[in-house]
Structure 1
Amino acid sequence: MLPLAHLSHTSLPHATGRCCVFIKAEPSPRACLPSAAAGKGTLRAGMDFLNFSTETWTLLVALVTLFVIYLYWPYGAFKKMGVPGPKPVPLFGTMLAYKRGFMNFDLELILVLSCCPRQNFRLNGPLYDAVSIAEDDQWKRIRSVLSPSFTSGRLKEMFDIMKHHSASLISSMKKKADANQPLELKEYFGPYAMDIVTSTAFSVDIDSLNNPSDPFVTNIKKMLKFDLFNPLFLAIAFFPFLGPLFEKMEFSFFPASVTDFFYAALQKIKSSRETSQHKSRVDFLQLMIDSQKQHVPNDLENDKGLSDHEILSQAMIFLFAGYETTSSSLCFLAYNLAVNPEVMEKLQAEIDSTFPNKASAQYQEVMQMEYLDCVVNESLRLYPIASRLERVAKASVEINGLLIPKDMVVMVPTWPLHRDPDIWPEPEAFKPERFSKENKDNIDPYTYMPFGIGPRNCIGMRFALVMMKLAIVEILQKYSFSVCKETEIPLEMDIQGLLAPKRPIKLKLEPRS
């Protein structure tokens, strides 16, 4: 894998060495000495080992040689390409140096390579045809069917549904606020995101805010529980050639019980929708069903309809993406406001002027709020949920004398890119003014990509932004976020899976006078 953050110089930590302690052993009169028979048995076993046939010895040496070559050969790729960097070690490559960090960004390289299709990782199980995983013509066809779900007109139609769930969110938070108790934010923003996704996508109201044990919620959490030390993940990481074998054996990174549950549930919803007489639905699922009805068999020019399995996969990936990314982004946004009260006060002033006397939020006005947009963008800069993007080069390309061969996996590390002091002055500071109208035009689009960039950016980006902005507006109309003794400052981040804090973010809500 080729990181776009390559080195101009390398600094490696010194080894600490090994300290050996020798203990003088005195012979004990009670010590038992091996018998002569035992000695003969050991000698005979050793002789049998040495008396392997020539063929056996040849095979053994060949296997050891191949294993040693496998340990070292893959890590010589960067050296052959002339890419400077830390010296790799067998099995781990340069993974151990990531924690120290090394970067030297080339924006032209990011611009060209981030537009290549995403690599299709193996062992995706039944999600092999989801829009975020599918490739080439299949991806284009699926994306073209889904895109109309996220137009401004569709989002405006969904806004009233979102407001219903934001009202439930505030009602749930009020109980803790009235008791002056800290809130564990994910317990509120997670169900809020889940309820909006299920209701706007499938017209199903699970009310997970009041029913945290709902099967949809528990199975989503199982799906998103990523274990870096999962034996299957480690096997693929260290021995990638085993991928096709595991795929044939139908192994998957996703728990079968979870995927089976969601495919069965979504199939039931789809079947009932097809037999229903009500045609007024405008949700995500209905759009995909309609694409099937408009599909003309054997018409290659208009072959855009989704198969039954493709419909279920898109619905499933929409659930996972909508739940985790939006809820985590809301948690980070609330945290940033709590630790930067002057920013929160300025945002509340804009909210009060846009919706005087706590007037009901409206779609058009929310989306036109300039400072709110700046605040959300700055929070996503500091905490991009997808801390890195990966693409695969579909053709060999040479940039600045560096040849990127076809099929090379290229990584765009958004976390360090968003915090590079050469790009962002005072990168650790929370400064929404970076994204003001006066400054926004000066930002290179390839230095800020919380939702990815290019043709394969996040298709649900606008949907997620509406959810986030609505929740923050309606909360800040009535309350202010504040830190408490349970608030961890600064946050310690978890390195597994999507970006998340190691420990839950806890804040208090204080009623506004």
Structure 2
Amino acid sequence: MSFSLEVNPYLVLAFLGMCVVFIYRYMVETYSTLEKLGIPGPKPVWIFGNVLEFKGKNVLHVFDDWKKKFGDVYGFYEGFRPGIVVNDVDFARDILNRHFEKFYIRTSYRPFVYYPDNLRLIEIDGEHWKNQRAVLNKLLNSTGILKQVVQKMRISSNRMLHQMSEELKNAKENEGINISKVIDSYVSEGVMRIVLDMDEEQLAKHHDSIYNYEIASNWSASAENEASGLARLFPSLTPLLKLADKKHRESHEEVVNILREYLNNTLTGQNNNKLKDGDHVSLLSFLLSSKVLSRDIDGSLFRRGLTTDETIAHITSFLSEMYSTTTAAIQFILYELACNQHCQDKLYDEIHRICGKDGNFSLAELQKLEYLDMLFSETYRHHPVAPGLSRVCSESCTIRGVTFKKGMVVRVMTSPMYNDEQLFQDPDKFIPERFARQNRLESNQYSFLPFGQGPRMCPGQKLAMIKVKTAIIDIIRNYTLTTCKNTEIPLKEALRPSLTPANGVCITMSRRF
């Protein structure tokens, strides 16, 4: 017995026609969202939106061009998702602070997340985020902890100077050295010391594993990584694209296993909950003694210790976030000092006057280095390590005549603001004095946001500045920096995921004595 299936070709054509009509209407509806809201912006391409306009270009230059063409508020499409960009100080204040309750969700720029990293501050929101944030705020603003950070970073800084000396011995005359790997090593080792209080034996045992994790974690979220780019563009493909994230996944698993064992050993040696803030030898020690506010099933509030997975999530966040931003900031500062000798001379005089020619320096002395603060700010304005801040609109609203839809991503792009002549006179010039205390008091605090603003601003500002200042002080006390034939002018940059020198920084370093 045989069966034959007859297919009516007209029904097939009708079905295909309906599919085409549905897809067409969906595309038209999707890519008219911003136009219906009255928001200008570049014309999108179906499926990809406007992301193809970034291909082969400096991402920040694209946003600069869009600001010039479309103004302080415009929109663009990331794949199928419409988003709004603001380049205005008043809008920045409204979104980051004044209307925080409508924009309290922070977007994650890391598409590939592995447990327990989903417990990190950047991945959570609501009451849970608020309670976890309170613990980290106390930790990262503890004077006792910060004083110890200074001393531990000095140890790493001395090792950095030794490594630089070895590099210089092997450098060819007038060709300089690429200081990036030395700075990377300094930051990575320093983070291990201040977060985990690792001794020399532990550093020798675990440094490579943690350093490789830091590199892999940041490459996983790099704008140059095609797999992560596609995952951001088409989130539904993330489980499939994770297969290409093997190196990051394996290094993450290795570091998490190291941390689980390390936590057990630390807990065994720590008399939990009986240490004062100043008695803690590391950020980890502080976390293990901390209590976080939580809500029980019946709704009542109580305090509990952080779980092992919560603690590990915070530590991996320190390892990856502190590494990428700090090493980039230090490299950019050294580059600008090499290019601006008069600034280097002023900085050396200030360091010599406040911290001395050599030897230790204190947290109080670091806080007195006003010119170094100005230099950091001006360098950051020229090379914004974090060029923008993203939030998700939690409820539809209208602010200053602009309608924001629930679920829409809103980007406060600060890098175009830093090039705005109305905010910074002669923006192309390198003038640290524009950030003198009096000038900052007279300017809008939302015109310059190196650590963000509002409740979700970066909690690690003081910690980051200690790491940056320690490296800069010790380098400038020992070396005069100049450009060489291998120095890139202007410096090529890349988002990996923070803005960083694309090919490192090559400069000449000459002993001061």
TM-score category (smaller protein): 0.7 to 0.9
Q: Assess if the C-alpha contact under 8 Å between 1:125 and 1:253 holds in 2.
A: no
Q: Assess if the C-alpha contact under 8 Å between 1:124 and 1:253 holds in 2.
A: no
1:402 alignment counterpart: 402
Q: Assess if the C-alpha contact under 8 Å between 1:120 and 1:134 holds in 2.
A: no
Q: Given the alignment, which residue of 136, 155, 158 partners 1:146?
A: 136
2:284 alignment counterpart: 285
1:91 alignment counterpart: 47
Q: CA deviation at 1:371?
A: 0.8
CA distance in 2, matches of 1:471, 1:506: 17
Structure 1, unaligned runs of 5 or more: 1-49
2:147 alignment partner AA:
K
- Asked which structure has the greater CA Rg, the reply is 1
Kindly indicate which of the two structures has a greater share of residues assigned to strand: 2
Q: Which region of structure 1 is more displaced relative to structure 2, 146-155 or 271-280?
A: 271-280
Alignment pair present for 1:203 and 2:193: no
Q: CA deviation at 1:253?
A: 6.2
Q: Assess if the C-alpha contact under 8 Å between 1:169 and 1:209 holds in 2.
A: no
1:432 alignment partner AA:
P
Residues 402-421 of structure 1 aligned to structure 2 (within 5 Å): 402-421=402-421
Q: Which region of structure 1 is more displaced relative to structure 2, 417-426 or 358-367?
A: 358-367
1:265 alignment counterpart: 258
Q: CA deviation at 1:117?
A: 2.0
Q: CA deviation at 1:307?
A: 2.2
Structure 2, unaligned runs of 5 or more: 1-5, 55-60, 73-86, 98-102, 273-278
Residues 94-105 of structure 1 aligned to structure 2 (within 5 Å): 94-97=50-53, 99-100=61-62, 101-103=65-67, 104=72, 105=87
Distance 1:113 1:296, change over 3 A: closer
Q: CA deviation at 1:175?
A: 2.2
Q: CA deviation at 1:392?
A: 1.0
TM-score normalised to structure 1 length: 0.82
CA distance in 2, matches of 1:491, 1:207: 38
Distance 1:250 1:508, change over 3 A: closer
Distance 1:124 1:359, change over 3 A: closer
Give secondary structure in 1 for the equivalent of 2:156.
helix
2:420 alignment partner AA:
D
CA distance in 2, matches of 1:312, 1:210: 21
Alignment pair present for 1:168 and 2:159: yes
2:127 alignment counterpart: 137
1:275 alignment partner AA:
T
Distance 1:76 1:500, change over 3 A: same
Residues 49-448 of structure 1 aligned to structure 2 (within 5 Å): 53-97=9-53, 99-100=61-62, 101-103=65-67, 104=72, 105-115=87-97, 116-121=103-108, 123-126=112-115, 127-151=117-141, 152-178=143-169, 181=172, 182-205=176-199, 214-226=208-220, 228=223, 232-240=227-235, 242=236, 246=238, 255-276=248-269, 281-291=280-290, 300-303=300-303, 305-448=305-448
Distance 1:205 1:77, change over 3 A: farther
Give secondary structure in 1 for the equivalent of 2:410.
strand
1:291 alignment partner AA:
S
Q: CA deviation at 1:237?
A: 4.1
Q: Assess if the C-alpha contact under 8 Å between 1:366 and 1:469 holds in 2.
A: yes
CA distance in 2, matches of 1:292, 1:185: 41
CA distance in 2, matches of 1:358, 1:234: 46
- Provide, for residues 291-349 of structure 1, a one-character-per-residue CA deviation record: whole Å limited to 9, x for no partner: 36998987932345322211111100110011111011100000010000110001101
Give secondary structure in 2 for the equivalent of 1:486.
coil
1:57 alignment partner AA:
L
- Provide, for residues 233-273 of structure 1, a one-character-per-residue CA deviation record: whole Å limited to 9, x for no partner: 35444434x26xx5699879683212211211111111111
- Provide, for residues 83-125 of structure 1, a one-character-per-residue CA deviation record: whole Å limited to 9, x for no partner: 1222222123233456542212332211111242233446523
TM-score normalised to structure 2 length: 0.82
2:417 alignment partner AA:
L
Q: Assess if the C-alpha contact under 8 Å between 1:125 and 1:250 holds in 2.
A: no
Q: Assess if the C-alpha contact under 8 Å between 2:330 and 2:468 holds in 1.
A: yes
CA RMSD of aligned residues (A): 3.0
Give secondary structure in 2 for the equivalent of 1:224.
helix
Give secondary structure in 2 for the equivalent of 1:92.
coil
1:289 alignment partner AA:
L
CA distance in 2, matches of 1:208, 1:510: 34
Q: Which region of structure 1 is more displaced relative to structure 2, 257-266 or 203-212?
A: 203-212
Q: Assess if the C-alpha contact under 8 Å between 1:482 and 1:508 holds in 2.
A: yes
1:204 alignment partner AA:
M
Give secondary structure in 2 for the equivalent of 1:262.
helix
CA distance in 1, matches of 2:255, 2:184: 18
CA distance in 2, matches of 1:64, 1:163: 65
- Provide, for residues 127-185 of structure 1, a one-character-per-residue CA deviation record: whole Å limited to 9, x for no partner: 11101221111111111111122123320122111111111111111223355552222
Q: CA deviation at 1:456?
A: 0.8
Q: CA deviation at 1:277?
A: 5.1
CA distance in 2, matches of 1:252, 1:294: 38
Alignment length (residue pairs): 461
Distance 1:56 1:189, change over 3 A: same
Q: CA deviation at 1:498?
A: 1.8
CA distance in 1, matches of 2:190, 2:418: 29
Q: Assess if the C-alpha contact under 8 Å between 2:145 and 2:280 holds in 1.
A: no
Q: Which region of structure 1 is more displaced relative to structure 2, 219-228 or 373-382?
A: 219-228
1:189 alignment partner AA:
I
Give secondary structure in 2 for the equivalent of 1:346.
helix
